[in-house]
A and B are shown apart, each in its own frame.
Chain A
Amino acid sequence: MLSRVANNLIWLDRYMERGNGILSLLKVNFYANQDSPELFSWSPIIKNYTRADNTFYTEDAIECIDFMVFNINNPNSILNIVTKARENARSVQEHISKELWLCINSYYLFLTKKDLREKLKEEDPLVFLDNLLDFHLKFYGNIEITLERGPAYFFMTIGKYLERVLQISDFTAMKLIEIAKTSDSLEQSFYWKNLLLSIGGYQLYLKKHKSSFKEDHIITMIFQDTLFPRSVYYCINKLNRHVNLLIETGELEKNNIEFLLGKLESTIKYTTIDSINDQGLDNFIKGIKEDIKNISFSINTVYFSNVN
């Protein structure tokens, strides 16, 4: 496969995954903010997704959602993300299914409809966000049922899980900062619960551990659970598998990326909760992010720029 095409496929899925994460985060924060606005303010979310020189901050929910969805100066606004996803999809149309292209295109057209921005002010914000999230569900479903399990699928999957690991790490790091600010254990448990909700693991947690919020259980679930599709371990495992599938199908040459991934996978799998606590969760996350950045960087340099 053309290097440019592979790169565009990775980014297509990365952007869509990022969009899904941002919308989920907005939705969960909107709920939480209704109960305790002082705990769940909007600024950390804006800060995490904007450039360092951003000056726009708001504690008005609708203003924040508007900024995060529509503002074209915000590089991670849903509108910008979907526009880029669409540009990527457009340039690889012969590698994805027509259904998938139609799906992304309809999302873009929906977002650029004239009256949509006005609707945010009139409609229930959760309904509004759900309408956008529906496009992501369609996107996932389309991949599942229309895309052949070949190189295009493998590259997209790599994009998806790269982005997802980074998001889980970011979400957790964001909450850790908030948690560190308080010594009230009830408040802390609010934050942990909120984190689970943001990454969609709340129900699973209840099923496993009932309604008792123990930090160790939560960390284990988010970082090491083998079945939870939004655990860091699960994502790294998928990354590893799909890189190997690409090597098996002759799309990628064997090199140190699979080694790096394999190493990261075992590190996460075999690190005990005690040793995570010893080094500090924030350091543990930093380590994972560093590794993922290196892996992502290697994929870029090895396969996409130095092909001569």
Chain B
Amino acid sequence: MNNKHLFSSYDLLPNTWDEMYSIDSDIRSQYDIINEYLRSTSPEILFKKEELSKQLFMNQGVTFTVYNNNEGIEKIFPFDIVPRILTAFEWEKIDKGIKQRIKALNLFIKDIYHDQFIINDGIIPAELIYSCPNFLRQMKGVKVPHDIYVHIAGVDLIRNNDGEFYVLEDNLRTPSGVSYMLENREISKRIFPGVLSKNQIRPVANYPNLLYNKLKELSDQNDPNIVLLTPGIYNSAYYEHTTLARLMGIELVEGSDLVVKDHFVFMKTTNGLKRVDVIYRRVDDEFLDPLEFNASSTLGVAGIMAAYRKGNVNIVNAPGTGIADDKAIYIYVPDMIKYYLEEDPILKNIETYQLGKPDEYDHVAKHIKDMVIKKTDGSGGYGMLMGHEASDEEIKDYLENVRKNPDNFIAQPILRLSTAPCCIDGKLSPRCIDLRPFALSGKDGIDITPGGLTRVALKKGSLVVNSSQGGGSKDTWVIQ
């Protein structure tokens, strides 16, 4: 059976790298495996597989709840069955590049909260650091185990039309999505039985074990009590929190389950208080300790920062890592790599303009139709201006707003996110994608699970891959 229909209308986007087709419309060799499979599968079976994947997500409760008129509606994050495939060569560069970056960023965070050599040597201006909302004075001089601040990072990469991977964001606070990396792979195994093993696709299932070991080595206790701190069931990533806790075999706790006594953190059990040694927190810095940050927060634990500073508990990622993934600091990451490691960056940054600098502001204003402007402390794809889509009116209003506080804004040229084939209405169509590999740092180095989460902008022509704005995801295969 030959499924011609599926390939009948694959219109490459102009000036855009496609993951499957080369410029000459030849299929790149890494996609042979899936091509063969797709071509020999009838549209009906493919449709059934899509339905199966939705059913699997639903049945397992890989969902988030949208509340409407008191009724909770279960939704799944859309999943596209066609995997995104990377060659071993491509992966090697990503792997090395992220490791280099995380290493430098860790050194940077340590430096900022201690000696501040990088400021004294004039690489990064002091005002920039101190004006950054994610800089935590409470972390100054705090010694952390093995000098590691960022234990878990989810670096966002995009592939530009030159075929190179660029770093979009570093995500060093509480990056999410790793459960989808794991779950997507489980679904792939069901949808494409035998294909993964036959083609020696690198496994991802090891992630929870790796993470557990990294958390464990932070404590000097023989059998440390490690917990995952969640904001609770109404958090959109709650599914991820329960999954990781289950896969690691650790306790899932909420702020109200913990209490600090004599600068130690305890959890409230049926048999009294039990000491907690390591906390993998999925609660943002701001809500971590009502005594030191947001006083109205009920998600955190009063006194936890004091216990942390005394070294009586470990918090992962360390508080204050947000200083290093701020969009204004991002510009300096290549300089950091040179400064701390004396190396050239392996992965490139996206050209970024600081709107606080008059000449750069002028350049951006002149080329506004080709620019995207972002707030330096924004995330989730909100508060952006996409120059090519905005009306003159919108641009005028936005720039007016920028001029009030230009230091809080950066601009980047509108990127050509690479496209990958997605199964849409029974046909393959190109859709924009990015890639978020997950890196784990420990005392013996950095481990990156091969692949990661590929996010997809499912709307035709859209560049926004965020799950909150119509994005979906794909499994990511790295060939041995």
Contacts and interface: CB of A to CB of B under 8 A. Distances in A.
B218 to A, nearest CB: 20
Contact of B59 (A3, A102, A251): A102
A72 B251 contact: no
Q: Interface range on chain B: under 10, 10 to 19, 20 to 34, or 35 or more?
A: 20 to 34
B256 A307 contact: no
Interface in B228-253: 233, 238, 242-243, 245-246, 249-253
A6 B61 contact: no
21 contacts: A2-B267, A2-B269, A3-B269, A4-B256, A4-B257, A83-B72, A91-B233, A91-B252, A93-B243, A93-B252, A94-B242, A94-B245, A94-B252, A98-B246, A105-B61, A109-B59, A251-B271, A253-B272, A307-B270, A307-B272, A307-B273
B249 A94 contact: yes
A102 B58 CA distance: 10
Interface in A173-223: none
Contacts of B74: 109, 112
A142 to B, nearest CB: 14
A308 B61 contact: no
A44 to B, nearest CB: 28
Interface in A129-159: 151
Interface string B56-71: 0011110000000011
B190 interface: no
B75 interface: no
Interface string A271-308: 00000000000000000000000000000000110011
A3 B268 contact: yes
B259 interface: yes
Contacts of B238: 90
B268 A91 contact: no
B217 to A, nearest CB: 21
Q: Interface range on chain A: under 10, 10 to 19, 20 to 34, or 35 or more?
A: 20 to 34
A303 B252 contact: no
Nearest to A105: B61
B19 interface: no
Contacts of B72: 83
Interface of A: 1-6, 72, 83, 87, 90-91, 93-94, 98, 101-102, 105-106, 109, 112, 151, 246, 250-253, 303-304, 307-308
Nearest to B70: A72
Contacts of B253: 2
Most A-side CB within 10 Å, residue of B58, B238, B252 = B252
A1 B61 contact: no
Given A4-B257, A105-B60, A87 B233 contact: yes
Contacts of A91: 233, 242, 252
B254 interface: yes
B51 to A, nearest CB: 15
Interface string B262-283: 0000011111110000000000
Contacts of B259: 308
A138 B59 CA distance: 15
Contacts of B270: 1-3, 6, 151, 246, 251-252, 303-304, 307
Interface of B: 58-61, 70-72, 74, 233, 238, 242-243, 245-246, 249-254, 256-257, 259, 267-273
A94 B251 contact: yes
A93 B257 CA distance: 16
A90 B272 contact: no
A100 B370 CA distance: 53
A138 to B, nearest CB: 13
A3 B242 contact: no
A83 B65 CA distance: 12
Nearest to B261: A308
Nearest to A7: B270
Contacts of A250: 271
Most A-side CB within 10 Å, residue of B243, B254, B268, B273 = B268
Contact of B269 (A1, A72, A102, A106): A1
A300 to B, nearest CB: 11
Contacts of B249: 94
A106 B63 CA distance: 13
A105 B61 CA distance: 7
A145 B314 CA distance: 38
B271 A105 contact: no
Contacts of B272: 253, 307
A291 B192 CA distance: 58
B384 to A, nearest CB: 33
B271 A4 contact: no
Nearest to A253: B271
Contacts of B246: 93-94, 98
Contact of B257 (A2, A101, A308): A2
B250 A94 contact: yes
A5 B243 CA distance: 16
Most A-side CB within 10 Å, residue of B252, B267, B271 = B271
A106 B58 CA distance: 9
